[in-house]
Amino acid sequence: MRILLINPFYPISETPSPPLGLAYLAAALEAAGAEVRILDYVVYPYRRDVLESVLQEFKPRIAGATAVSMTVDHARQVLGDVKSIDPEIITVMGGPHVTFCARETLEAFSGLDAVVIGEGEETLVELLRAIEGARSFETVDGIVYREKSKIVDTAGRQWIKDLDALPLPARHLLPLGRYRTLGLPISLTTSRGCPYKCIFCVGRKMGGARVRYHSPERVADELQYLADLRFHQINIADDLFTANPHHCLAVCEEILQRNLDVYWTSFARVDTISAKLLKTMNAAGCTAVSFGIESANPAILKKIKKGITVGQIRNAIRMCRQAGIRPYASFILGLPGETPQTLEETKAFAADLQQEGLAYGFHILTPFPGTEVRADHDRLGVRILSDDWSRYDANRAVIETPGVSRRMLDAAVVEWEDQYNRYLGNIHENIQNGKATDEEISQLENLENTVALYDVMMQRHIEECGSLSLSAAGSDIIKEKGLELLIDRITRSSDMDPGRLKAALQQAVADGNLKLKLKGDRLRWEWESFLEVTKVNSGG
């Protein structure tokens, strides 16, 4: 049985990482004997003709896509093309959006056969078995599926109790080299579930109110493996890594006992940390912690069931700085009860905390399916302006409250974005004047290189311009001039700035992410593959 898994397009501005959820699914399917392939349209451009070639060559029986709200439309497009190319392929979707919109999605999208609800590892394996055995989908718990003109819900599925029973994520199927080239982080999870009840989040419903944990030994094994892949950042992507301080400390102690040389970041709540915990986390390699602060107004914090205080927020930032950990925070504008006064209160609070070392960002409340704020928006005083899922990126308003309009919310975020752009502009000016620090120069160069390399990837410039013939000159000459030839070809076929392109490609080559390889009578530039990364790191 062959299964194709699809990661739909997700903007690089959202700092994506290699799709961990799909890697978990792929590992479970491979353990069950399936052959799996992953198409990742975050770092590959989507083209129907390429998809058709993959389907003809791989011949999958199932095509499954994951989706959050902002990516669901692209997931539908890809699966719709799959169905039109080969109607016999069974199409499946999973992820938080369709988990809470299963029937609506199936009713609106005739090209979809089934939706997986919640955790998908055991469900997809059972679905595979049902297809192999020509059994009804009714025997598979945890799905909603189409049966002729009816839409059928099967029984709910229990949470996976022993997370260590799951095989390690099948990262060998992911285009890790491309993510590393772009300077994006790689992630892992040490737990599933969240005990808190924030009205704007689905973490509790997707993972359960009772947190389940990987063992510290399993976590340390995976961290060591990821450290060898040479990503600049490893992110522990649990809903809340510090939900249980005992688990958090046990993971850190395992890292310390093994003397692992690994650096990582995590998510926390301001009321689940202590000076001792942060000190131990830092000793074990934690460099940064991200908090959801949401608002500076106590009444709003209470209304959204956040359960934290302004005093706890200030204390958390101070403890992070004392422990040598960089604190980051996210604020949500437009929460129930928001007024012009509370908006200014939060903005002033964020600016004040910035003076204490906090890096922060603003998002706008987005009523995702499955959240309390969407289900009870009338009672909470939130007006939903759009169900255009492509706009559900939390960067521009799709809601209003009686006190703040869409324009006011957008203006607050644009003001913050302009502030950041001015900061980058000041760095650029300092570079020109010879006053920039090494850190500032590195920050701006890395950002500009990432933008250029992403453009090269999504325009397929390496694939279309990176083949060099050996017939006209010797391989040594072409190897010496190979990068110059590549840059010349790309600039002649695009509007990319030659200087910026050269700097970006030189960095990619220096980092080992772009390599010139002999292929028969030609030399080809190629992005580093996963197998090359693991071969180098294993000494092969």
* CATH number of the domain residue 299 falls in: 3.20.20.70
Residue 479 has what pLDDT?
61
| Phi, psi (degrees; rounded to nearest 5) at 78 | -65, -45
Residue 476 has what pLDDT?
57
Q: At what angle do helices 438-458 and 498-510 cross, to 10 degrees?
A: 100
Stated pTM of the model: 0.94
In a domain, 168, yes or no: no
Final residue before a domain boundary, out of 138, 153, 168:
153
Q: Which is nearest to 82 in space by CA: 114, 102, 52? A: 52
Q: Are 328 and 358 in contact (CB under 8 A)?
A: yes
| Phi, psi (degrees; rounded to nearest 5) at 66 | -95, 160
Helix, strand, coil tally for the chain in percent (to 5): 50, 15, 35
Q: Are 295 and 346 in contact (CB under 8 A)?
A: yes
In a domain, 481, yes or no: yes
Q: CB under 8 Å to 418, separation ≥6 — which residues?
A: none
Residue with tokens 């590549």, as numbered in its chain: 486
Those residues of the chain that have pLDDT short of 70 are: 471-480, 530-540
Dihedral over Cα of 80, 81, 86, 89: its sign? negative
Instruction: Examine the domain organization and report whether 444 and 401 are in the same domain.
Output: no
Q: At what angle do helices 48-58 and 72-85 cross, to 10 degrees?
A: 60
Polymer length in residues for the chain: 540
Instruction: Examine the domain organization and report whether 450 and 421 are in the same domain.
Output: no
Residue 119 has what pLDDT?
96
In a domain, 305, yes or no: yes
CA dist 241 and 338 (Å) reads 29
In a domain, 179, yes or no: no
User: Total structural domains in the chain?
Assistant: 3
Instruction: Examine the domain organization and report whether 427 and 473 are in the same domain.
Output: no
Residue 89 has what pLDDT?
98
In a domain, 52, yes or no: yes
Q: Which is nearest to 332 in space by CA: 291, 372, 370? A: 291
Instruction: Examine the domain organization and report whether 381 and 509 are in the same domain.
Output: no
Final residue before a domain boundary, out of 434, 467, 498:
434
Instruction: Examine the domain organization and report whether 406 and 465 are in the same domain.
Output: no
Instruction: Examine the domain organization and report whether 444 and 415 are in the same domain.
Output: no
Instruction: Examine the domain organization and report whether 520 and 428 are in the same domain.
Output: no
In a domain, 180, yes or no: no
Residue 420 has what pLDDT?
92
Instruction: Examine the domain organization and report whether 389 and 451 are in the same domain.
Output: no
Instruction: Examine the domain organization and report whether 74 and 110 are in the same domain.
Output: yes
Residue 529 has what pLDDT?
78
What's the domain range around 463? 439-537
Q: How many CB atoms lie within 10 A of CB 388?
A: 11
Q: CB under 8 Å to 15, separation ≥6 — which residues?
A: 184, 185
Instruction: Examine the domain organization and report whether 139 and 274 are in the same domain.
Output: no
Residue 537 has what pLDDT?
42
Q: What is the CATH number of the domain that holds 446?
A: 1.10.10
Q: Strand, coil or helix: what is 2?
A: strand
CA dist 102 and 94 (Å) reads 9
In a domain, 174, yes or no: no
Q: Please report the beta strands in 447-513, taking only residues with DSSP state E, as ranges in sequence order.
A: 467-469
Residue 454 has what pLDDT?
97
Final residue before a domain boundary, out of 386, 417, 434:
434
In a domain, 425, yes or no: yes
Instruction: Examine the domain organization and report whether 406 and 479 are in the same domain.
Output: no
Q: What is the CATH number of the domain that holds 126?
A: 3.40.50.280
Distance of alpha carbon 451 from the chain centroid: 17
Instruction: Examine the domain organization and report whether 228 and 371 are in the same domain.
Output: yes
Q: At what angle do helices 245-257 and 216-227 cross, to 10 degrees?
A: 50
Residue 469 has what pLDDT?
77
Give the angle 75-196-105 at the CA atoms, nearest 5°: 25
